Chains A and B, each alone.
Chain A
Amino acid sequence: MPSLLRELGEGATNFFERAGRITRFGLQLAALTPTSLLRVRPVIEQVYNTGALSLVIIMTCGLFVGMVLGLQGYEMLNRVGSEEYLGTAAALSLLKELGPVVTALLFAGRAGTALAAEIGLMRATDQIAAMEIMAVDPMRRVVVPRFLGGVIAMPLLTATFIAIGMFGAQLIGVQFFGIDQGSFWSQIRGTVELDDVAEGLIKGAVFGVACSLIAVYEGYNAVPTAEGVGRATTRTVVVSAVVTLVLDYLLTALML
């Protein structure tokens, strides 16, 4: 019994310690951001790495999520005899919920792991130590551009995901089930407000900051062994997914 209590206490302390260290790391990144933005080149490269390279998977998944929404939504709305609301249902679910969340999960899986593994491997192969010896700040040189790349890419990926998802829903609703195209779009326009779009993009931006921060933190603080890098990569995905869903709840409650 005392050992159980001790483990619980230790677990809680560890959790708070990690939360505190991630926060401190994030503040450090934020402090370095303005000067790093002056050197555009590395940031552009990282927008390419995290954004442009994730585009294919984001678009494919967006299309399929939209098409599933079309099928499921039609099936459900058909039971209550209001199929014309399919567009509204799909648009609101994509904008407010599925778009940002699924994009963040995919982003953590595709870009977050790549960031963590890259930085972790730099740590394991002593590249980061070498930089420190040469008086090059690895935070400024390696970590901040990768973080900024993710932060810039995520809202754009979210918007792309939602737009493609709408196309997918339209494909199923209009082309497959034969809902009138005009009424599909006019229903959407009549009910979706600018606030809903803003909610989706804000969520995307917040998830982008969170997932990028977790990825670079885990990579930078990886145990410098092959196993350590592997564990950092795994933890990036797990922590990102949990944090995304918790933040999603908080943001939804906040913006209701």
Chain B
Amino acid sequence: MRPSRTIDISTGLFVLLGFAAILFLVTQITNREFTLNSTSYRLRAEFENIGGLKAGAPVSMAGVTVGRVEDIQYDQKLYKAVVTLRLDGHYDEIPNDSDASILTSGLLGGQYVGISPGGSEEYFKDGDQVTFVQDAVVLENLISKYLFNTATKQPDAPAPEAAPATQE
């Protein structure tokens, strides 16, 4: 049996190391640079289509994270997605005619809500509704829109798929 002092010291070191490891995992590995404090406020936005937006996604202005998506609900009366945004209380001077759009970070990245400022003198308050919104871009809609546009522009031209044949 070792003297109990050694046991105490090594146990203490072990426990400290364990907690240091937990602290490292929580602070260094996870996305914690942005935490909402008690002064935060909520905004409401209605979208026709939110694409792949999820609760917890960042809300950003000019690329800086200013809040998080708190909640997403489907409204049966409006046929729209109601997204609750929670913004940090520091950013309390956002014009109330600013618009919110659902954007994608990178080519394959997750979706987030981008706010671009409007010109109003009044600022958003807790519980306000964001009037100007822009839905998520759905790639399939975009492609079909493009195809239909090309088809209507050149009515007598061959279908776009056949176009490369002229290279011969």
At the interface, yes or no: B120 with Cβ under 8 Å from chain A?
A: no
At the interface, yes or no: A162 with Cβ under 8 Å from chain B?
A: yes
Interface residues of A in 176-198 (CB under 8 A from B): 185, 188-194, 196-197
Contacts of A63 in B (CB 8 A): none
With both beta carbons as reference points, the residue of chain A lying nearest to B17 in the complex is identified as A160
Q: How far is the CB of A166 from chain B (nearest CB, A)?
A: 7
Contacts of B32 in A (CB 8 A): 194
Q: How far is the CB of B27 from chain A (nearest CB, A)?
A: 10
The 8 Å CB contact of B19, one of A91, A156, A162, A192, is A156
Contact between A52 and B31, CB atoms less than 8 A apart: no
Contacts of A162 in B (CB 8 A): 21, 25
Contact between A156 and B30, CB atoms less than 8 A apart: no
Interface residues of B in 10-59 (CB under 8 A from A): 10-11, 13-15, 17-22, 24-26, 28-33, 56
Contact between B13 and A159, CB atoms less than 8 A apart: no
Question: Of A51, A91, A159, A197, which is in contact with the most chain B CB atoms at under 10 Å from its CB?
Answer: A159
Contact between A156 and B14, CB atoms less than 8 A apart: yes
At the interface, yes or no: A163 with Cβ under 8 Å from chain B?
A: yes
Contact between B14 and A192, CB atoms less than 8 A apart: no
Contact between A193 and B11, CB atoms less than 8 A apart: no
Contact between A52 and B26, CB atoms less than 8 A apart: no
At the interface, yes or no: B7 with Cβ under 8 Å from chain A?
A: yes
Contact between B21 and A156, CB atoms less than 8 A apart: yes
Q: How far is the CB of B104 from chain A (nearest CB, A)?
A: 14
Contacts of A229 in B (CB 8 A): none
At the interface, yes or no: A222 with Cβ under 8 Å from chain B?
A: no
Contact between B31 and A156, CB atoms less than 8 A apart: no
At the interface, yes or no: B8 with Cβ under 8 Å from chain A?
A: yes
Contacts of B25 in A (CB 8 A): 95, 159, 162-163, 197, 200
Contact between A44 and B11, CB atoms less than 8 A apart: yes
Contacts of B13 in A (CB 8 A): 52
Q: A155 with B18: in contact, given A44-B7, A48-B7, A52-B13 (CB under 8 Å)? A: yes
Contact between B29 and A159, CB atoms less than 8 A apart: no
Contacts of A164 in B (CB 8 A): 21
Contact between A157 and B18, CB atoms less than 8 A apart: yes
Contact between A193 and B30, CB atoms less than 8 A apart: yes
Contacts of B8 in A (CB 8 A): 44
At the interface, yes or no: A239 with Cβ under 8 Å from chain B?
A: no
Interface residues of A in 113-129 (CB under 8 A from B): none
Contact between B30 and A197, CB atoms less than 8 A apart: yes
Contact between B11 and A47, CB atoms less than 8 A apart: yes
With both beta carbons as reference points, the residue of chain B lying nearest to A99 in the complex is identified as B25
12 inter-chain pairs at a CB distance below 8 angstroms, sorted by A residue, are A48-B10, A51-B15, A95-B29, A156-B17, A159-B18, A160-B21, A163-B21, A163-B25, A164-B21, A188-B29, A193-B30, A197-B29
CB within 8 Å of A: which residues of B?
A: 4, 7-8, 10-11, 13-15, 17-22, 24-26, 28-33, 56
Other A-B pairs beyond A48-B14, A159-B25, A189-B33, 9, CB < 8 Å: A44-B11, A48-B7, A52-B11, A52-B14, A159-B18, A162-B21, A185-B28, A189-B28, A197-B29
CB within 8 Å of B: which residues of A?
A: 44-45, 47-48, 51-52, 55, 91, 95, 153, 155-157, 159-160, 162-164, 166, 185, 188-194, 196-197, 200-201
Complex A-B, nearest 6 residue pairs according to Cβ-Cβ distance, in ascending order: A156-B18, A159-B21, A52-B14, A163-B21, A48-B11, A159-B22
